[in-house]
Amino acid sequence: MSFTGKYELQSQENFEPFMKALGLPEDQIQKGKDIKSISEIVQDGKKFKVTVTAGTKVMKNEFTIGEESELEMLNGEKVKAVVQMEGNNKLVTQVKGMKSVTELNGDTITHTMTLGDLTFKRVSKRI
C-alpha cells in the first residue's frame, strides 16, 4: 500500500493539551488549533518525503524505513529517530518519550501521538 498523496486534516483530538505538554507557547497553540493542515507524502520504496503545510508554517521530513534520520518535531525541535514499518500501512517511531503511529486505511490517514498518558489524534483524508 502506498502512502503517496495529499491529505487534508479533517479532525483532531487533544491538540491544545498535547502542544502544551510539548512546550509550545500559548499564542502558537491558539493560532494552530483551527488550521486545516495539508500533508503531502511521497513514498519511493522505503524512502519517504513528508511535507506538512499549516498556514504559513511548512515542516519537511525525509526518512528511510529502518535508518536513523533527523526529523523535525511539531515544536520545531530536530531529533534523531528511526521510523519502522509495521505491516504495509503503519509507520511507527519513538522520539523523546513520545510514540508516533501513522496508519493508512484506504484514503484516510490516522496519526496518533502518545506522550505519557496524553494522546493526540489527527485524522486526514486524501484530496
The pLDDT, as a whole number, for residue 76 is 80
Per the listing, cell 515544536 goes with 75
Residue 30 has, within 13 A of its CA and on its CB side, a CA count of 3
pLDDT tens column, 18-48:
999 988 899 988 988 888 899 999 999 999 9
**100, 86 contact by CB (below 8 A):** no
Residues facing residue 120 across a β-bridge: 113
- For the chain, which residues make up each domain, given as ranges? 5-126
Strands (E) in 1-127, as ranges, are 5-13, 38-44, 47-54, 57-64, 68-72, 78-82, 84-86, 90-95, 98-105, 108-115, 118-126
Q: List helix spans (H) across 15-58.
A: 15-22, 26-32
CATH number 2.40.128.20 is the correct assignment for the domain at 5-126: yes
- The size of the chain, in residues, is 127
pLDDT tens column, 91-101:
999 988 899 99
Predicted confidence band of residue 77 (pLDDT cuts 50, 70, 90): confident
